A and B are shown apart, each in its own frame.
Chain A
Amino acid sequence: MVGINGTIDLEAALVRCGEGDRKALRLLYDHEAGRMIAVAQRMLKRRALAEEAVHDSFISIWNTASRYDPARGAARSWMYTILRNRTLNILRGEARSELTADFDAFEQESLEDTPEEIISKLSEANALRRCLERLDASRRRLVLMAYAHGLSHGELAARLDVPLGTVKSWLRRSLLSLRECLQ
């Protein structure tokens, strides 16, 4: 599953997982778990919750890998879709009340992942970066706080102290112009 240029073939590993190959699951874990924890932690803030999301995601990956079809998309994309779904479920469901209570305290810990920092880590040539930079700074922040930090419309409205309807229409307009720019 190591390609000729030394890169890991995640697609082959995921297919092998579907055939019950535990070593392939370990390979995916070694390769992606660290970043998956970081992605979940951006949203869940707490490390322990982020690890739970990754734990649950790998079990789900193992259980559903036989349905993965390499022709329909990259393995990484498939894995992160599972992770983001699981993380949003935790965020919007089970841990909700605890999270909002703790939110401000934990915010300090994730300074390096502010929207500005995320933008600056995208490569200059990245189409999404180019298109995000065409938006007003405040609109750009909204899109990034929604995607990377998992904030809901309601939370964004509270954070920015604007009505819910306003946040919704700002986001919609931003997404429409992103679409136009990305096409």
Chain B
Amino acid sequence: MNDDFDLLASEYVIGLLDGDDLARARALEASNREFQASVAFWRRRFEAIDETATPIDPAPDLWTRIEAATAAATPAKAADAARQKSVGIWSNLGFWRGAGLVGAVASLALALFAASLWNARLSTPTLVAVLVTDQNVPAAVVNAFADGTVELVPLSSIAVPDGKALEVWTLPSRERGPVSVALLDRARAVRLDLKDLPRPGSGQLFEITLEARNGSPIGRPTGPILMKGLTLQAL
């Protein structure tokens, strides 16, 4: 067992990490088996402490509020099923035979479209952030390009209850605090508005929170963090 790894895992489970160390632990938890095993070891041991807490009766409206929030949300499996359906068509040979000609035209159009995108951008991203959920599942990517544009590309659908929206934030510096860079009704690819901010740097935090439909009323994240990640330099 690697002692440094295990120490990081223990500090992570106990809740002592912040900033870069926390980001490093999250990345390791998503990718490294040895670290996952270490985290599991410490969680199993410390759970006993949570079990010593004497239950408190929830306020009567707590369940009502949870029920309302989840009723509006698409159950996760249903969203998965919808995605599977759209994958299904890709493996349907009959469909593709019939669609061959249309496909040829479409792929030419797509190639031209891709070329125009390529020209517009002239480069691959200089910085990339993979935003992960609190379960360490990658859920979106932020790409920053040399020409100053920054885009968000979701990797999975997100249940957005009625009257709520997804707000994208970045933390240009601790002094400045979080700045809203997009407000979305659902997960979709979008260009982020960073024009009033310094060029993003390596290790800059991006996150998405669930907020009221018109965005956070106080200009700072107030709702649950759905995903977050730090930018890394692309090769």
Contact = CB atoms under 8 A, between A and B. Distances in A.
Interface of A: 18-20, 22, 25-26, 29, 33-35, 37-39, 41-42, 47, 50-51, 54-56, 58-60, 62-67, 73, 76-77, 80-82, 84-86, 88-89, 92-94, 112-113, 118, 121-123, 126-129, 143-144, 146-148, 150, 152-153, 171-172, 175-176, 178-179, 182
Contact of B62 (A33, A128, A147, A153): A33
Contact of B55 (A34, A81, A123): A34
A63 B159 contact: yes
Contacts of A59: 66, 69-70, 73, 224
**Interface SS of B by simple majority:** helix
A22 B52 CA distance: 28
A24 B66 CA distance: 13
A147 B15 contact: yes
Nearest to A168: B16
A177 to B, nearest CB: 11
Interface string B47-89: 1111111111111001101110111010111101000000000
B30 to A, nearest CB: 13
Q: Taking each of B50, B55, B67, B73, which has the highest tally of chain A beta carbons within 10 Å of its own beta carbon?
A: B50
A41 B58 CA distance: 12
18 contacts: A19-B77, A22-B71, A33-B58, A41-B56, A42-B53, A50-B56, A51-B62, A58-B70, A63-B76, A64-B137, A73-B40, A77-B44, A80-B47, A80-B50, A81-B43, A118-B49, A175-B7, A175-B14
A181 to B, nearest CB: 10
- Which 10 pairs show the lowest CB-CB distances between chains A and B? A34-B55, A20-B75, A38-B53, A121-B52, A66-B76, A56-B224, A175-B10, A85-B134, A35-B55, A62-B70
B97 to A, nearest CB: 34
Contacts of B16: 146, 152-153, 171
A75 to B, nearest CB: 12
